[in-house]
Amino acid sequence: MSTKIYCDIADLRSIKKYYKMDLVKGFTTNPSLMRKAGAKNYENYSRQIIKICKKKPVSLEVFSDDNSSMFNQAKKINSWGKNVFVKIPVTNSKGKFTTEIIKKLCDEKIKLNITAVYSSAQTKKILSSINIDSEVIISIFAGRAGDAGLDPIPEIKQSIKYSKKFKKVKILWASVREPYNLTQAKQLGCHLITVPPSIIDKIKNFGKKNNQLTLETVKAFLKDSKKSNFSI
């Protein structure tokens, strides 16, 4: 199974650039990325993203913290396009699981991306609240787990095992820190990985041999030392 690459992004100009790449199969974003990109009106900005990405899936996140508002936002976001997956955090800010909302939205056949997942126990809880034919992405924050000194690999492995009987559930490696994470995601059997633009640009180095990389590195050192007019 090949791991599909999504781009984690919010800047409209950059989205247009990466949408044209065959390598990029979809897009994810979140309120933090949208704020950084200068979005002022959530709906207007989201609709611009959807318009650019009309033939590729886009995950857009709710930003409410209570069940009722979260449900209403999810329904509204879902109505903006057929290629939309609604991102729902696995818990709210008080630590309460959102499985009740997840179940209600799945019952209405709304495509979901469950975000901020860190453990296989959370994955199991999500799966217990969805239908066998629900279309759901489960985003496991591998990079952030690693930043905290936790090993995400066992959690992803177990999450993939748990999800096997759900044919429309996809496990996504999120919070990528380096290009090698794509290799890891492939080895584990992740269905998806979402990657920031800076890492996508580095993936073009894939396929180079060790000797070629050595030569390129030595040439770069030599070039910079000449520019600096170093002498001993």
Q: What is the pLDDT of residues 119-178, one digit of tens each?
A: 999 999 999 999 999 999 999 999 999 999 999 999 999 999 999 999 999 999 999 999
Write down the pLDDT at residue 205: 76
Give the residue numbers annotated as catalytic, written as ranges.
87
Write down the pLDDT at residue 207: 86
DSSP of 77-99, one letter per residue?
HHTT-TTEEEEEESB-TTS-B-H
Write down the pLDDT at residue 1: 63
CA distance 45 to 48: 5
Write down the pLDDT at residue 73: 98
In order of start, what are the domains of the chain with their CATH numbers? 4-207 (3.20.20.70)
Write down the pLDDT at residue 94: 97
List, for the chain, all residue ranges whose pLDDT scores fall below the cut of 50.
none
**pTM (two decimals):** 0.93
